[in-house]
């Protein structure tokens, strides 16, 4: 609290401006919303209750963010940015702030949990934040079934007994914006019914208004702390997820893109039982993709599953240009059986992204350059992506090595490379990171988030880093020459395209293997020279000792 007084930031109970701000934003959001989903929330008394709750939630957010900004400002003051003490203090502030933001998300729930999950998947945020906020992935409290039932009947226009022969009132899954129930239709078809929580649009308007207000306020006080791009991307993402009609369309588009791939299953949509707030799909059995014990008990290789997973998402990114934006383990199931022993079931298509065609092709070129460590090409593409000098960090972000690396693909960095990188990172300030992130095209941020989630799953499955890198390289090469064939000549053109892709990929692999062979020969040469030098020194010393004794 001493920090707050010195900095003249509002305390929890001492600033009327603090309370008025929260109150004004809450009432603006509530009264400016057209209608809530549930009739239980439409009465004036409930609107007032919602506004009061909004004041409490807004106050928590304003207090937590104000304290966090003050913590960074005063904990790091007068410390040289390139000093070890600065880095140590910065890590301590990161840890404190991450715990503070986690507590805020847990207290405010709803879209704050969703926002925390969103930030946790961005691998460019400090590790302390991604580790702390990743615990929010499984934190969702199911809604009372009576309210869920009202959403169902008001959207479907019938009583549940008229549509379903059975409907399990206990949800089989719960997330921050919806929960899923297992049911059986009158024709004995098993379905999964996803139901949106009532009053979400009202809450979203308030929560995103507060987030936007805070990000702009922080940016005005401290220009180096710019996170408005993060709020913008989150609001855009969550707005799409609240429209289940859009999610159903996304699901069918992904199903069409992979209809010739027997390793992929996308649940069928029951359109007659789908609205903006209710989504009814085919029920698919399986277990989470990162459940290693279940994989092994079903005699499935975790590495093989990881290989299929990365190839699926590589094809989405580099070829289709239409990506599933939230591939956390709960949204990808492994279903044992079939010709290849298993298939991947892709769920929850609310957060999908259509990539700009120019971006898709440039991203293919970037990955080809990353694999070959073509620093000139990486820098050139960095200018096109709008990040300028920061493009030199692309190899570290995506492949785990620098552009000057002497290590083989997937081998990481040498000790010397790590030390050099550490010195470069020391010179980076927080405003450098926020400038870099804010300069990236929105498509880049979407891909970065998806790649981060896929990477964490493959890591848990124990797949070598090289598996992901080579899969991305293969589909990047394929994506450069890809033109979607028409339905009539799909088979013929698809075979030709894949043949061209294979030849291009083999060429890339040959170049890569030759590069790594030269690196190994260099290392062998240095080893032989070192051994030879030690041998000569040993012989010389022995001769000297013999001469001296004589």
Q: Which of 71, 207, 291, 326 is catalytic?
A: 326
Q: How far apart are CA 113 and CA 473, in angstroms?
A: 35
Task: Looking at the structure, tell me whether residues 332 and 212 fall in a common domain.
Answer: no
Q: How far apart are CA 259 and CA 525, in angstroms?
A: 51
Task: Looking at the structure, tell me whether residues 346 and 211 fall in a common domain.
Answer: no
Task: Looking at the structure, tell me whether residues 502 and 393 fall in a common domain.
Answer: yes
Q: What is the pLDDT of residue 426?
A: 65
Query: When comparing pLDDT for 366 and 86, which is higher?
Result: 366
167 located within any domain: no
Task: Looking at the structure, tell me whether residues 334 and 452 fall in a common domain.
Answer: yes
Task: Looking at the structure, tell me whether residues 327 and 212 fall in a common domain.
Answer: no
Beta bridge partners of 323: 353
Q: What is the pLDDT of residues 313-326, one digit of tens each?
A: 999 999 999 999 88
Nearest to 305, CA basis, from 470, 449, 471, 463: 463
- The three-state secondary structure class of 480 is helix
The tokens describing 147, both together, are 């309210």
520 exposure class (CB count in 10 Å sphere: 0-12, 13-18, 19+): exposed
Task: Looking at the structure, tell me whether residues 495 and 389 fall in a common domain.
Answer: yes
Contacts of 251 (CB under 8 A, 6+ apart): 266, 267, 269, 281, 349
Task: Looking at the structure, tell me whether residues 212 and 295 fall in a common domain.
Answer: no
The residue among 199, 216, 233 that closes a domain is 216
155 located within any domain: no
Percent helix, strand, coil in the chain, to 5, is 65, 10, 25
69 located within any domain: yes
Radius of gyration of the CA atoms of the chain, in A: 27
Task: Looking at the structure, tell me whether residues 316 and 211 fall in a common domain.
Answer: no
Task: Looking at the structure, tell me whether residues 212 and 332 fall in a common domain.
Answer: no
Contacts of 263 (CB under 8 A, 6+ apart): 308, 312, 340, 342, 343, 344
502 located within any domain: yes
Q: What is the pLDDT of residues 484-508, one digit of tens each?
A: 655 545 555 555 556 666 666 666 6
Which residue carries 């959207």 as its tokens?
A: 155
Q: How far apart are CA 205 and CA 388, in angstroms?
A: 35
Task: Looking at the structure, tell me whether residues 501 and 358 fall in a common domain.
Answer: yes
Total residues belonging to the chain: 550
Q: How confident is the model at residue 509 (pLDDT cuts 50, 70, 90)?
A: low
313 located within any domain: yes
Q: What is the pLDDT of residues 354-404, one digit of tens each?
A: 999 999 999 999 998 988 888 899 999 998 898 888 888 888 888 888 877
- The three-state secondary structure class of 332 is strand
Task: Looking at the structure, tell me whether residues 405 and 491 fall in a common domain.
Answer: yes
Nearest to 396, CA basis, from 442, 436, 362: 436
Q: Work out how many domains the chain is built from and give that number.
A: 2
Task: Looking at the structure, tell me whether residues 348 and 494 fall in a common domain.
Answer: yes
Q: How confident is the model at residue 19 (pLDDT cuts 50, 70, 90)?
A: very low
Q: How far apart are CA 42 and CA 129, in angstroms?
A: 38
Domain residues for the domain of 46 are 22-136+207-216
- The three-state secondary structure class of 336 is strand
112 located within any domain: yes
Find the helix packing angle between 357-372 and 442-460, rounded to 10°.
Answer: 50
The residue among 216, 244, 262 that closes a domain is 216
Active-site residue flag, 326: yes
């Amino acid at each position: 609290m001493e920090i707050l007084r010195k900095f003249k930031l509002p305390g929890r109970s001492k600033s009327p401006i603090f309370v008025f701000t929260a109150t004004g934003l809450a009432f603006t959001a509530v009264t400016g919303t057209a209608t809530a989903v549930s009739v239980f929330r439409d009465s004036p008394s409930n609107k007032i209750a919602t506004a009061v709750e909004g004041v409490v939630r807004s106050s928590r957010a304003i207090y937590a963010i104000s304290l966090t900004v003050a913590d960074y400002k005063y904990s790091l003051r007068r410390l040289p940015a390139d000093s070890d003490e600065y880095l140590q203090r910065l890590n301590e502030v990161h840890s404190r702030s991450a715990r503070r933001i986690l507590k805020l998300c847990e207290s405010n729930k709803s879209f704050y949990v969703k926002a925390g999950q969103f930030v946790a998947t961005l691998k460019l945020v400090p590790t302390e934040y991604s580790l702390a906020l990743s615990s929010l992935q499984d934190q969702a409290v199911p809604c009372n079934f009576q309210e869920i039932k009202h959403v169902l009947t008001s959207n479907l226009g019938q009583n549940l007994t008229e549509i379903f022969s059975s409907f399990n009132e206990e949800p089989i899954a719960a997330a921050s914006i919806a929960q899923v129930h297992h049911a059986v239709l009158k024709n004995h078809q098993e379905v999964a019914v996803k139901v949106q929580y009532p009053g979400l649009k009202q809450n979203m308007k308030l929560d995103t208004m507060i987030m936007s207000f805070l990000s702009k306020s922080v940016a005005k006080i401290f220009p180096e702390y710019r996170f408005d791009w993060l709020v913008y991307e989150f609001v855009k993402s969550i707005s799409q997820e609240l429209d289940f009609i859009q999610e159903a369309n996304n699901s069918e588009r992904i199903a069409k893109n992979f209809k010739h791939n027997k390793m992929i299953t996308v649940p069928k949509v029951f359109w007659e039982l789908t609205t903006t707030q209710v989504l009814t799909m085919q029920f698919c059995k399986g277990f989470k993709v990162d459940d290693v014990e279940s994989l092994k008990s079903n005699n499935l290789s975790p590495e093989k599953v990881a290989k299929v997973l990365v190839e699926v998402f590589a094809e989405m990114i580099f070829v289709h240009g239409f990506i599933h934006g939230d591939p956390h383990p709960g949204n990808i199931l492994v279903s044992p059986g079939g010709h290849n022993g298993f298939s991947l079931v892709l769920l929850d298509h609310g957060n999908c992204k259509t990539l700009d065609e120019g971006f898709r092709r440039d991203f293919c070129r970037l990955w080809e350059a990353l694999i070959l460590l073509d620093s000139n090409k990486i820098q050139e593409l960095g200018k096109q992506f709008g990040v300028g000098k920061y493009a030199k960090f692309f190899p570290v972000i995506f492949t785990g090595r620098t552009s000057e690396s002497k290590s083989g693909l997937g081998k990481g960095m040498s000790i010397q490379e790590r030390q050099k990188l550490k010195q470069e990172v020391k010179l980076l300030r927080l405003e450098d990171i926020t400038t870099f992130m804010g300069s990236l095209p929105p498509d880049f941020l979407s891909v970065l988030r998806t790649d981060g989630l896929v990477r964490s799953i493959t890591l848990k499955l124990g797949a070598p880093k090289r598996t992901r890198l080579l899969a991305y390289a293969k589909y990047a090469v394929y994506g450069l020459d890809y033109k979607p064939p028409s339905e009539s000549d799909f088979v013929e053109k698809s075979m030709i395209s894949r043949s061209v892709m294979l030849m291009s990929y083999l060429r890339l692999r040959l170049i890569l293997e030759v590069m790594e062979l030269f690196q190994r020969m260099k290392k062998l040469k240095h080893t032989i020279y070192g051994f030879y030098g030690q041998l000569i020194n040993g012989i010389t010393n022995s001769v000297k000792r013999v001469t001296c004794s004589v």
